[in-house]
Amino acid sequence: MAANEALLQRLRTAVADVPKVTETRMFRGITFMVDGKVCVSVSGDELMCRIDPEIYDVAIKKKGVDGDE
């Protein structure tokens, strides 16, 4: 499934000023890496995000978040 171009553009804008961001094909979509580590990935209309374990319990309760691991 192709990555949603509008979602990709929003993400590109959001990370434009973050140093050491690279964009690569991975996880059936486009993955943004920061300093060589996966940060967020777009596949179709979905995002997969790396979440700090210290805020995971709060983040997983937000609207629209699916906590499947």
C-alpha separations of 50 from 5, 31, 33, 56 in Å: 21, 11, 10, 10
| pTM confidence score | 0.79
From the list 67, 63, 22, 61, the residue with the least C-alpha distance to 49 is 67
For the chain, what are the domain ranges?
5-59
pLDDT along the chain (69 residues), means of 10: 89 94 92 94 92 92 79
Cβ–Cβ under 8 Å, residues 21 and 34: yes
Structure tokens at 30: 């486009």
CA distance 56 to 50: 10
